[in-house]
């Protein structure tokens, strides 16, 4: 059996011209093998002074337009994305010995999309979006708990908790996506897709 694709890479890279489709295939494999949160991704941002920061977030959707995550828009990452709309993502699936790196520009999802996702969240999570002033200094844990209790009184109807105006989703529209597979003796396999000016994806091999 031939275990290589047409580029001489492991067959897991397939022979696909669309990296979003290949991402889907790898994500489906990760769902089978990762014990927790296969959609967890490191998100790197930087502020207007080009000082970087990185944290883990959860990918909530992806399609031809990009990769979607949600956050408080006044959090550190929210403010940095407003100052500098370029970001990077890195998925690492230890169980598969695979990584995916994504670079691109972010924009806000529509209010309709944000509303639909917000309404699908658990009641406590929706209350938390109101109660937490994400990334701001907290005097005590009790302060946060009291804020949540106050908002639970305000929005006691669990089916009617409006989405806060400061909470929404970002979509990272990729201009490059790299697929990485661990190799013996650090001779890894790397396949990168770059989007050209016409919007076409161009594939290239990278040295490990």
CB atoms within 10 A of CB 184: 6
Would you call 55 a catalytic residue per the annotation?
no
Residue 193 corresponds to which tokens in the numbers above? 């897709």
CB atoms within 10 A of CB 178: 18
CA atoms within 13 A on the CB side of 89: 27
Tell me the DSSP string of 115-135: HHHHHHS-HHHHHHHHH--TT
**191 CB contacts (<8 Å, ≥6 apart)?**
7, 9, 13, 178, 179, 203, 204, 205, 206
Catalytic choice (98, 141, 186, 190):
186
Active site residues: 186
């Amino acid at each position: 059996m031939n275990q290589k694709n047409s580029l001489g890479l492991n067959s897991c890279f397939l022979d696909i011209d669309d990296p979003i489709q290949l991402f889907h295939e790898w994500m489906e494999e990760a769902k089978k093998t990762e014990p927790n949160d296969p959609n967890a991704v490191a998100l790197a941002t930087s502020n207007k002074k080009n000082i970087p920061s990185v944290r883990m977030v959860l990918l909530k959707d992806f399609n031809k337009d990009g990769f979607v995550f949600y956050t408080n828009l006044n959090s550190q990452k929210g403010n940095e994305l407003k100052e500098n709309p370029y970001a990077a993502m890195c998925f690492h699936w230890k169980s598969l010995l695979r990584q995916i790196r994504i670079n691109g520009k972010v924009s806000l999802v529509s209010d309709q999309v944000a509303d639909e996702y917000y309404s699908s969240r658990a009641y406590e999570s929706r209350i938390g979006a109101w109660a937490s002033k994400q990334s701001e200094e907290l005097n005590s844990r009790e302060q946060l708990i009291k804020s949540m209790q106050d908002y639970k009184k305000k929005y006691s109807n669990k089916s009617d908790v409006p989405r806060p105006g400061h909470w929404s989703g970002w979509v990272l529209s990729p201009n490059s996506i790299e697929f990485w597979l661990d190799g013996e003796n650090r001779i890894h396999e790397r396949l990168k897709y770059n989007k050209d000016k016409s919007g076409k994806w161009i594939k290239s091999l990278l040295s490990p």
